[in-house]
Structure formats: C-alpha cells, structure tokens
Amino acid sequence: MNYYLTVCAIMKNEGPYLKEWIEFHRMVGVEHFYLYDNGSSDETPMVIKPYVQQNLVTLHGIPERRAQLKAYMHCLSTYRTMSRWIAFIDLDEFIVPLSTETLSEFLKGFEEFAALGVNWIIYGDSGHQTRPDGLVAEQFVHRAPEDWRSNCHIKSIVDPQKVKSPFNPHHFRYVQDAYAVNENRERVDGSLSRENSTKKIRINHYFTRSVEDSRKKMERGSAFTNTKRPWKDFERLNRNDIKDTTMEKYLPELRKRVFGD
C-alpha cells in the first residue's frame, strides 16, 4: 500500500482553481490525487503538469459524456490496493478537518468502517458577480446555515477494500455487512444523512463561486448526468446567510503555496 489517503475526482475547465484545491488538500494530509480530465479546454493541462511530473497526481483522460461514475469505478478497480482511504469529491469541495490537524489523524478513528460520510456546507457567491482575484477560501466566506436541508448531503471517503462500486457521486455499494458512518460513528445509508453533523469534519462546498463561475458551470453541464442545470438551481443554492472564518488559519500557508507570497 503506497498511501494512507488519496483523492479521486473528475474535472473539466477547473484550471483557475485547480492549484488551490490541490495545495489545500496536501496541507491537510492528502498524499496523492487520481484526476480524470473530462475534456478540459482551459489551462488545466498546464496547471496539472508539474504535479504529474512530481508523482503527486495520476492523470487520466476521460472525454466521454456521463463519465463520473465510470471514472470512480476505474479508480477503484485500478488503485484499490494503493491507498487505505480514497476520498471521492469534486473540484469545488474542500474537506476540512475541524477536530484534528489533518484528515489522516481523523480517519485513524474510523478504520473499522467501510466509509466516512462527510456532510457538506454550501457556500454562496459572497456578492461576487465576476471571478475575484485571490483564493476561493478567502473570497467566498458566506454560507448557508448547517441545518438547511441541502447541507444533509454527504460525500464519501471510502476504504476501497470494502467497496463494490459507486451508487452515485455521493455514496457507494459496500461488501456484505459493511457500511458508512458519519463523524459521530452513526450509520449513513444513501446520499443524505438525517441531519447535518459538521462539528469535527466537513466539506466546504463552494458550489456557486461567483455569478460568472455559476453561469460557466451551468453551460458545462454535469459529469454525472451530462445535463445542464437550470439557473434556478444556482439561485436556490446561493446562500450567504452566515459569515464563516474557519478557513482563515489556512490562508497564509495556502497563499504561499499558490502565489509564492
């Protein structure tokens, strides 16, 4: 086994945000990334090249439509013996450990389970009409309340030895008697937990970013369904109720890694 924690993700035209996403997750303990490029036409190849050369990223091209579950299944089939845990997330999602310094420390307490289902918290546009300069983590700081129903979605960090296949981008089919739990070690079946629980670990889901980014995302379509989201989805999910400073402690090091400050 080469790694304790890796990340698998499918991406398309995430070039402006890719370096920050990789560097943040490296800061919190991710050792390697299995990335599937779904036909990017922006600067993604240039951004990702140094990470491939350093053996921090394993890159696959997967240009076909509705490719997300195919990418996830390929990752499981090909790399299940390489990593103790694989997190399956998107490029607008940052896994944030709250009760430990690193994700690896936190996952040590869950090794008996097939997966950890991590609730997300959706962040809004923080008033940005166009893509702002600077980091996602410093520019988008307003979010929805924890108890909003949409924040009951989970994403999965799985033990690949106990996984059969992905059911959808959120949760997986497990071997007999194996199951996922939340941060409180409570069983989670499906894409939604009964309630949001994000006191110890969470995913910051920067779903909208700026209005400009949202429109580009809408045009790009979903890697899971290959359909364009209606604009009303972005309006519904653009919640800016609470200012959240959780990411501030990461900003000095993250700026240094991304911009060389």
Question: What is the token pair recorded at 5?
Answer: 């924690």
Q: Is the pLDDT of residue 204 over 90?
A: yes
Judged by DSSP in three states, 167 sits in coil
Q: Which residues pair with 188 in a beta bridge?
A: 180
* Ramachandran angles phi, psi of 83, nearest 5°: -140, 140
Residues 103-112 have a mean pLDDT of: 98
Q: Is the dihedral of CA 99, 103, 105, 110 positive or negative?
A: positive
Q: Is the dihedral of CA 103, 43, 17, 190 positive or negative?
A: negative
- Residue for token pair 């103790």: 84
Written as one string, the DSSP assignment of 82-121 is TEEEEEE--TTEEEEESSSSSHHHHHGGGTTSSEEEEEEE
* Ramachandran angles phi, psi of 227, nearest 5°: -115, 150
Fold (topology level) of 3-259: Spore Coat Polysaccharide Biosynthesis Protein SpsA; Chain A (3.90.550)
Beta 93-97 vs 115-122: how paired, if at all?
Answer: unpaired
Summarised one tens digit per residue, pLDDT across range 124-180 is 999 999 999 999 999 999 999 999 999 999 999 999 999 999 999 999 999 999 999
Written as one string, the DSSP assignment of 206-245 is --S-SHHHHHHHHHH--TTT--PPPHHHHHHH----EE--
How many degrees, rounded to 5, is the angle at CA 161 between CA 155 and CA 167?
Answer: 40
Summarised one tens digit per residue, pLDDT across range 221-261 is 665 556 677 888 888 999 999 999 999 999 999 999 999 96
* Ramachandran angles phi, psi of 107, nearest 5°: -70, -20
In whole angstroms, give the CA distance from residue 90 to residue 72: 12
Written as one string, the DSSP assignment of 40-87 is --SSHHHHHHHHHHTTSEEEEE--SSS-HHHHHHHHHHHHTTTEEEEE
Summarised one tens digit per residue, pLDDT across range 63-106 is 988 899 999 999 999 999 999 999 999 999 999 999 999 999 99
What is the reported pLDDT for 226?
A: 62
Question: What is the token pair recorded at 99?
Answer: 């009760």
User: pTM to 2 decimals?
Assistant: 0.94
Q: Where are the domains of the chain?
A: 3-259
| Length reported for the chain | 261
